[in-house]
Amino acid sequence: MVLTGFFVWWYGEGLTQSFQIILATAEKIIDFFSLEILFKTWVSPWKNDVLSAENISLSDQIHLWQMNLVSRFVGFVVRTMIIIVAIICLGVSGVLGGLALAFWIALPLAAVLFPILGVRMLFT
């Protein structure tokens, strides 16, 4: 009775809770890296560093435009690198979560099968 209750919990509620933990980990990674904000502001200037001026010469306007373009480029590069790191972390988390689920599923079966196989090997 206790053993069947354990297996019912292990493969029912326990497996569901394990999967929920894996999903919560992915959500925490997404929240930690603020991926939603990064995607929305992907080509925004770095630290909103935008220069503006009025009544300046054409060469100064071009220089201002170049500085703003450089600021956008720096923002794009930094955000892209952070997004790549976040995707790598999500991938590693997914692989480790998949391995954890496989281990979760196989562990009770191994606890039952290994003693049987061990006794069988003793007599062959």
Residue 103: pLDDT band (50, 70, 90) is very high
In the chain, which ranges are continuous DSSP H helix? Answer: 2-9, 15-33, 35-40, 58-122
Report pTM.
Answer: 0.79
Q: What is the pLDDT of residues 22-67, one digit of tens each?
A: 999 999 999 999 999 999 988 888 777 777 778 888 888 888 889 8
CB 108 within 8 A of CB 10: yes
